[in-house]
Structure 1
Amino acid sequence: MRLDGMDCASCVGKIEAALARIRDVSDVRVNFTTETLELTLAAGSITRVGDIEKMIKGLGFGVSDARQLSSPSDAVVEAEPVPAPAMRDQRWWQTRKGRHVLGLGLLMGSAYAIAQFIPLHAEWIFAAAVVAGVIPFARKAVALAMSGSPFSIETLMSVAAIGALVIGEAEEAAAVVFLFAIGELLESVAAGRARAGIKALASLVPKTAVLLDANGGQRSVAATSLRVNDLVLVRPGDRVPADGQIVHGNSSLDESPVTGESMPRARAKGDSIFAGSINVDGVLQVRVEKTAADNTISRIVHLVEQAQSSKAPTARFIEKFSRYYTPAVMLIAAVIITIPPLAMGADWSTWLYRGLALLLIACPCALVLSTPAAIASGLAVGTRRGLLIKGGNALETIGKVNAIAFDKTGTLTEGKPRVTEVLAFGKRDEHKILALAAAVESGSNHPLAKAILGHAEAVGIAIPQASDATATAGKAVHARVGGLRLAVGSPIHAAQAATLGALERKAIEKLEEGGNTVAVLFNEQAREVLGLVALRDEPRRDAREGVAQLKAMGIRSVMLTGDNRRTAQAIAKGLGIEWKAELLPQDKLNLVNEMKQTSKVAMVGDGINDAPALATADVGIAMGGGTDVAIETADAALLKSRVTDVAHLVALSRATMANIHQNVVFALALKSLFLVTTVLGITGLWIAVLADTGATAIVTLNALRLLRFKGAESVDGDLAEGLPARLPVPAESH
């Protein structure tokens, strides 16, 4: 269901508490940011969808959309994700709460004006303003009390306003109602700002697309109607309407909506492109690969929605705290109202007034809002900067890690090996060795094979025809070339299947010490080594900087790789990082478990080969967030695939937690101060409402400050913004 009127996180608790009391309702999930409600209604239940809608409306919230699969029992079953909320164009004065504030303001102004001419009846005029203003809040307080939330802010405010009327403070009671209504409106405006980020994400995909038919005809259709294998035309200046593959044309695309990379990237036939990307200069024909509900931006929006609905441990603690805090405050207020008059003969009116003011000051809104507002801002700014975080729990934990394990291939390195050197033994030269090696590898999809073939083509070498190609997993590729039975394999396999002399062994050792992976070309029949092809997967340009930033933040970094020890040592030395080599996936898992015994550990990998370690770590972080597996496996994904973004992620988490602590301390300190001044009679009802509204507003504004977060160049945050390049598709580990 789509809900309206939720202004702060406490609204979520009110709705969840009410639904929990309804028969046969379970799995209740209210998302404050997206204003959605999901629930499960048992089959055969006597409860109807209409009953649920009626209850929600009775609490003062609107229901603008409901989706379910029809069934004889009218049971609610989530059929598909509720679409992202449409951008609302309403100004604050056009909203229900805005009109309420304007009406109360007019009523208050009239009461003050009339009181100037009929002072004897001023109290009655203000009393009428109080009654007119408090009725909506009192009605909501009763509904909340009946649905399981007796200690709501509406209850506290209604009791205080009516109590002030009883003791003859009608003017102050009217001011209390008016100021409270303003506070509700301010919360609504702030909530709208917090939701703006995800709405902006959803609006990146165009509403229409140009569909091409089999005869080349063009017609405009809704982007949501596109199906897999449809052919669409993308003109210069258009946004790409769906994830797909270019089948004709080439152009530069601005992919910043998805990757954050501001520089347009050249794209040609065969390349995959993202929905929401902007076509800069060429005309493209694109074959649709994913529907609107499944494109990259939709998946990101869905993950952000899920993230914002999950509660951080701090938020859960504060919610539990507030359940006991509010009744305790009401009990204290009752003691303050009754004990002085009964025990010391004090004036009942004075202490009733002070008790009512205490109720308003003790409202927990600012305290309850302190955590979710900061978490929502942290998640929003992270998404905007290509740091996709799956919920408040992950965001809170990331800042606590003091050890990070990195996979090597595709994480610290580009994942795209390149040929660095070719050595020939015997009568053949380097070009011949490269040609033969490329021929043997021509049937393989391994990253090393692609690198050898690509290098041979780049230098213009003719590749001979190969036949009878086979592969020995993890060891070698075999083929017949020009009457010779050849193989390209690892040095370990070559030592077993051929004769490695001292010269060959020394050459292999030297190349590996330089950080290369060595492929050995040998004649299987003669057991003769013909030559070596050295390949190196170069470190990412920002890898050394990223490791240095983490070190400056007090975080230990360790590189885990299945590559040989010499290559691992050479790369690790260049990056200034600890290393462990020749590891199988199970070895990585065991090492992460060992690290967890003494540290809070994050694992950074490509989300494919490192799935066990990613799942086992306290926090799993995927490089290459554009891939399905990476996003689904980890707790966070770095959409721009930069190592420096790991430091940005930690800094964002720490900044968010610092913001939460500031909010909690401020809210408690301000309330403690005014609780004392109220009991002493220094401040009254007006200040009480201003203190509560002001604390809520300041806590919200402080949380919104996180939207200016830039990165992590220093431990204190406020890093220079390092926005990474677009990520490559992760390759297999060697």
Structure 2
Amino acid sequence: MDQFADLSATASPSSAAPAVGPEPLRYRVGGMDCPSCVAKVETALRRLPGVDAISLNYQSQLLKLTLDPAATPREGLEQVIRALGYTLQRLDGLSIVAADGTTIAEEADSAAGTPWWLSPKLRITLVIGLLVAAGWVLPWLLPTAEPYALLPAALAGLAVFGRRALLLARTGSPFSIEMLMVVATLGAIAIGETAEASVVVLLFAIGELLEGVAAGRARSGIRALTALVPRMALLVEEGGARAIPAARVEVGQTLLVRPGDRVPADGTISDGRSDLDESPITGESVPVTRGEGDTVLAGSINRTGALQIRVTRAAADNTIARIIRMVEEAEASRAPTARFIERFSARYTPLVILIALLTVLIPPLVAGADWQTWIYRGLAVLLIGCPCALVLSTPAAITSGIAAGARRGLLIKGGAALEAMGHMRTVAFDKTGTLTRGEPQVTDLVLLSGSDGTLMGLAAAVETGSSHPIARAILAKAAAEAVPPRPVREQKAQPGRAAEGIVIGRRVEVGSVRHALERGASLPLDRVEALEAAGKTVVAVLADGQALGLIAVRDEPRPDAARALARLRALGVRTLMLTGDNARTAAAIADGLGIEVQAGLLPEDKLRAITDLKQDGPVAMVGDGINDGPALAAADVGVAMGGGTDVALESADAALLGSRVDGVADMITLSRATLRTIHQNVVIALGLKAVFLVTTLAGVTGLWLAVLADTGATVIVTLNAMRLLASRSALR
């Protein structure tokens, strides 16, 4: 009876538990070494009734799906995956749950998987290798056994891989590498090439083992991120501190972080001051000083003083955990080149099978050539035709590129974004908080009515709760001047124009000079021009439409902004500043940085500017992820600035976790290095096959070298992709 019929019978209403509807499941699938493995598992699962929303990533080995246990029991689903030759561990939250429901390990620990020296692949390789060795030795002891001495090794390989090939064929993958290898091995035995058959299965087993080792090395990027969070944390209690698992830290608890310790959770400093090395998360090489009230990120290294940190995010939601989840999602998304190669390989494999068949038939039938010779060569062509190395060539490079970026504070959310960055012709930047520090300070107050205290009090009331850099400057000035807070209601913001609210019965607006003039307010334009000429941003404060005064703030460029823009120009990329600030202030910043500028832009103006720029080629937009939403979305790649904030992690196509402008040039350089690696991998994969195809048809190489044409190429393209992880030169 068909296996799936058996599963359906197992799921009959009389034997199954009461139906509870589809449930989400998560598994760690061990032994997946390439996208072909993903295709095999996905194809098999789609044939099971009640299975939906399948998401599988070979790099993270994470399988997500929804299952209706009334249609297919969970045990039946797990049986199918294990029968394909993969190991399986069910994940529950952040823990791996054993069959009896007990928690046996943390998910982070499982990311490393089973060491290769303990894997079933090594055991299979050793068994076949010993049988091959015995087959070569036996004829010395028993000469009459020579014709059959290597047959046990070939049959052992067929028993292992043949069973898997048949199951893959029944589950919708008839053209698997296992099937091609089994057909070639059976053919070799049939024509009396038992020695060749045994070497083929041995090399195939060795190749699978090496692929697993290389894939495990390639997963080191995620494991390196996971290792940033310490296993233990010091919980502050009355009378001292006690150690608890970092995974059990709860929001609201206070932790002690001593000098030299890693920060175990995202939080806010409640006591102490210290220098923190945030380079593992943000890529910022210079330690930053943090004090009471400042935010700290899990994984940062405390360099100097002791800190007490109030936890703001649980372990499952800290910065490292969210980066890991987003990198895994990015790795799972297929890049355009990868999708093209997958479509190509779907047609390529049947074509090669046809070529192998013609290789067997045409020479003997047309030219009367020897059947055994051309059957042998046709079997070799069959092995050469496996597309594993070709299919792996792109995702291996994309995955390594994404992981290399994440290690350096460059969070790229998918292969499409990584590919696109290398083709950028123009990079447009927001000004405030992007090219500048985003920490302006109030420099001038120009009173038109009332007092300084009234002006600052009304402005601060309207800006309360806002995260805009100018709002923070006004609130900081009010706090420094001890201006008492005023209650406000009906707060709202007009993006790019003004913030407003009702304060002590008056409608107060804090907005741009342009907005104030449009409202009909009377302003001293000569004073405005003088302040703007000095590179300051001027906002007007209105009460019931009447101008109360002007507030001028100034924001300095980031230390690395000029260097970053120079690097982009050296890469052949045009740079442009798009800002809502006035022309004089924008020009003062732009002149110092050597960048083109378009000023006085509303959000819709920035959107229109991006649309116009795209006519000359791909455009990236770099902004803070809040006010620049339309422009970020319209660009070919939107890049958000932010030091690990929710906005930086969850908006746009990429994020610079360290708020380093230099990261944009790093991202483009990394993308170009990744594209070069993809091109190299495709040449290696197709080039080796072409060489071995010619030499096989010419009779120079045989079956065992044909196996190396695929398994060897697979290992080579994986190792080549891993260079992106190992070398910092990819960013320079």
Q: TM-score range by the shorter chain?
A: 0.7 to 0.9
Aligned counterpart for 2:230 among listed residues 206, 212, 221: 206
3-state DSSP of counterpart to 2:216:
helix
3-state DSSP of counterpart to 1:286:
strand
Residues 1:280 and 2:303 are matched in the alignment: yes
Cα distance between partner residues in 2 of 1:590 and 1:497: 27
Deviation at 1:416, TM superposition (A): 1.1
Cα distance between partner residues in 1 of 2:225 and 2:64: 22
Residues 1:120 and 2:138 are matched in the alignment: no
3-state DSSP of counterpart to 2:284:
coil
* Structure 2 CA distance for partners of 1:606 and 1:475, relative to 1, 3 Å: closer
TM-score norm. by structure 2 comes to 0.86
Deviation at 1:552, TM superposition (A): 2.6
Deviation per CA, 1:467-499: give whole Å up to 9, x if none.
798999756999999xxx999875557778876
Deviation at 1:456, TM superposition (A): 8.8
* 8 Å contact kept, 1:614–1:634: yes
Deviation per CA, 1:115-156: give whole Å up to 9, x if none.
223333222111111112331111111111111111111111
Counterpart in the other structure of 1:47: 72
Deviation at 1:293, TM superposition (A): 0.8
Cα distance between partner residues in 1 of 2:439 and 2:367: 83
State the one-letter code of the partner of 2:47: R
State the one-letter code of the partner of 1:515: G
Counterpart in the other structure of 2:61: 35
* 8 Å contact kept, 1:408–1:560: yes
Cα distance between partner residues in 2 of 1:195 and 1:153: 23
Aligned counterpart for 1:9 among listed residues 6, 30, 35: 35
3-state DSSP of counterpart to 2:110:
coil
Residues 1:653 and 2:671 are matched in the alignment: yes
Counterpart in the other structure of 2:530: 510
3-state DSSP of counterpart to 2:575:
strand
Aligned counterpart for 1:59 among listed residues 77, 81, 84: 84
3-state DSSP of counterpart to 1:557:
strand
* Structure 2 CA distance for partners of 1:60 and 1:661, relative to 1, 3 Å: same
* Structure 2 CA distance for partners of 1:562 and 1:339, relative to 1, 3 Å: same
* 8 Å contact kept, 1:438–1:449: no
Aligned counterpart for 1:311 among listed residues 334, 339, 346: 334
Cα distance between partner residues in 1 of 2:170 and 2:477: 74
Which segment drifts farther, 376-385 or 403-412? 403-412
Counterpart in the other structure of 2:571: 553
Counterpart in the other structure of 2:124: 100
Deviation at 1:82, TM superposition (A): 9.3
State the one-letter code of the partner of 1:129: A
* Structure 2 CA distance for partners of 1:174 and 1:557, relative to 1, 3 Å: same
Counterpart in the other structure of 2:47: 21
Cα distance between partner residues in 1 of 2:136 and 2:216: 33
Counterpart in the other structure of 1:732: none
Cα distance between partner residues in 2 of 1:203 and 1:695: 31
Deviation per CA, 1:357-394: give whole Å up to 9, x if none.
11112221111111111111101111111110111121
Deviation at 1:596, TM superposition (A): 2.9
Which segment drifts farther, 116-125 or 352-361? 116-125
* Structure 2 CA distance for partners of 1:645 and 1:551, relative to 1, 3 Å: same
Cα distance between partner residues in 1 of 2:55 and 2:139: 49
Counterpart in the other structure of 2:12: none
Which segment drifts farther, 46-55 or 90-99? 90-99
3-state DSSP of counterpart to 1:682:
coil
Cα distance between partner residues in 2 of 1:466 and 1:195: 52
Deviation per CA, 1:609-633: give whole Å up to 9, x if none.
1122212222111111511122211
Counterpart in the other structure of 1:266: 289
State the one-letter code of the partner of 1:345: G
* 8 Å contact kept, 2:278–2:285: yes
State the one-letter code of the partner of 1:16: E
Deviation at 1:191, TM superposition (A): 0.6
Aligned counterpart for 1:179 among listed residues 192, 203, 212: 203
* 8 Å contact kept, 1:497–1:527: no
Q: How does 1:232-631 map to 2 (within 5 A)?
A: 232-420=255-443, 441=459, 443=461, 444-445=463-464, 447-448=469-470, 450-451=472-473, 491=513, 505-518=525-538, 534-624=552-642, 626-631=644-649
State the one-letter code of the partner of 2:330: A
3-state DSSP of counterpart to 2:186:
helix
Counterpart in the other structure of 1:196: 220
Counterpart in the other structure of 2:243: 220
* 8 Å contact kept, 1:2–1:82: no
Cα distance between partner residues in 2 of 1:557 and 1:325: 42
State the one-letter code of the partner of 1:566: R
Cα distance between partner residues in 2 of 1:191 and 1:232: 37
Deviation at 1:85, TM superposition (A): 4.7
3-state DSSP of counterpart to 1:242:
coil
* 8 Å contact kept, 1:497–1:524: no
Cα distance between partner residues in 1 of 2:534 and 2:310: 43
Cα distance between partner residues in 2 of 1:467 and 1:691: 76
* Structure 2 CA distance for partners of 1:175 and 1:541, relative to 1, 3 Å: same
State the one-letter code of the partner of 2:473: A
* 8 Å contact kept, 1:440–1:479: no
Which segment drifts farther, 230-239 or 319-328? 230-239
Deviation at 1:48, TM superposition (A): 1.2
Counterpart in the other structure of 2:22: none
* 8 Å contact kept, 2:457–2:486: no
Counterpart in the other structure of 1:137: 161
* 8 Å contact kept, 1:478–1:488: no
3-state DSSP of counterpart to 2:149:
helix
* 8 Å contact kept, 2:29–2:63: yes
* Structure 2 CA distance for partners of 1:172 and 1:284, relative to 1, 3 Å: same
Q: Note the residue ranges of structure 1 that are not aligned, 5 or more in a row.
A: 69-80, 427-431, 712-716, 720-734
* 8 Å contact kept, 1:608–1:630: no
State the one-letter code of the partner of 2:301: I
- Count, aligned residues: 684
* Structure 2 CA distance for partners of 1:53 and 1:276, relative to 1, 3 Å: same
Deviation per CA, 1:618-651: give whole Å up to 9, x if none.
2111111511122211111011112221111111
Cα distance between partner residues in 1 of 2:275 and 2:458: 35
* 8 Å contact kept, 1:436–1:463: no
Counterpart in the other structure of 2:16: none
Deviation at 1:678, TM superposition (A): 0.8
State the one-letter code of the partner of 2:664: V
* 8 Å contact kept, 1:388–1:636: yes
* 8 Å contact kept, 1:254–1:262: yes
Counterpart in the other structure of 1:164: 188
State the one-letter code of the partner of 1:6: M
Cα distance between partner residues in 2 of 1:567 and 1:404: 21
Cα distance between partner residues in 1 of 2:393 and 2:656: 27
* Structure 2 CA distance for partners of 1:63 and 1:359, relative to 1, 3 Å: same
Q: How does 1:717-732 map to 2 (within 5 A)?
A: 719=732
Deviation at 1:541, TM superposition (A): 1.8
Cα distance between partner residues in 1 of 2:722 and 2:408: 16
* 8 Å contact kept, 1:435–1:463: no
Deviation at 1:301, TM superposition (A): 0.5
Cα distance between partner residues in 2 of 1:277 and 1:527: 47
Question: Percent identity at matched positions?
Answer: 53
3-state DSSP of counterpart to 1:545:
helix
3-state DSSP of counterpart to 1:84:
helix
RMSD (Å), alpha carbons = 3.3
State the one-letter code of the partner of 1:187: E
3-state DSSP of counterpart to 2:362:
helix
Deviation at 1:24, TM superposition (A): 2.6
3-state DSSP of counterpart to 1:622:
strand
3-state DSSP of counterpart to 1:285:
strand
